[in-house]
Structure formats: structure tokens, C-alpha cells
Amino acid sequence: MFRALALILTLCVALPESVQAFERINDRETFVNAVDGKDLRIAIYGLTLNVSANGTIAGRAIGWGISGSWIWEDGYFCRDMNWSGTAIDYNCQLVEVNGNRIRFTVDKGEGNDAVLRIR
């Protein structure tokens, strides 16, 4: 068992950097091309978000509705959201992409992050 775990860890570390690395999205157009018309998902939370080019956010998490709005400001995704009557404070986030995964890091990249699948 230890050998199998060691092999898995070795393979993960040995992957080329381009496969492992998230790349920052710096502009609104690139961001919109990555997300518009697609679902952003975290299956374990039943979270699905739709971030539209028109500046709206809609979705669901744990069975409750999510709504909100967003703008692109100084290289960051800035959003206001509401989850079933609970306000989620305005925050500007660093956005990075790696294939079909997108990572949002709150507080302009200084806080916690969430990785969602793009579908």
C-alpha cells in the first residue's frame, strides 16, 4: 500500500508544469469566453453557477437559489451574491483557469479559494 501511495505522489509531482499550473485570467473578454453559457460546478455541495456576459449570476447550492451580479474591475472578478436570502458580501477575486477547472481566490488573491469544474 505504501508503494502504491508513493507511486501516485511521484506521478503527481512528475507531471509537466503546464498540466499542473493554473493560469491567471487578466481581462473580462477571456473570462467571459471561459464561463459564458457554461455551468460552474462543485458537485459535493450541489453547487452550480451560471456567470453570464451580461453581468448576472444565477445558480443553486444545497437546493437553495443563488443570484447576483458581477463586474470586471482592474483585473479581478468582483461580485455581489445572495444565497436564498443570505447576502454574500461584495468581493473582488483573482480568477485562474486550468483546462476545465476555474479557481476563484477571494480578496484579490489573498484569501481562500474555490475550484469549480467548467461544464
At 67-87, the pLDDT tens digits run 999 999 999 999 999 999 999
At 42-52, the pLDDT tens digits run 998 899 999 99
At 14-57, the pLDDT tens digits run 334 445 699 999 999 999 999 999 999 999 889 999 999 999 99
Q: Do 108 and 92 form a contact (C-beta atoms < 8 A)?
A: yes
How far is residue 73's CA from residue 6's CA, in Å, rounded to a whole number? 43
- pTM equals 0.81
Domains of the chain: 22-118 (2.40.128.640)
Given this model, what pLDDT does residue 48 score?
97
Q: Do 78 and 91 form a contact (C-beta atoms < 8 A)?
A: yes
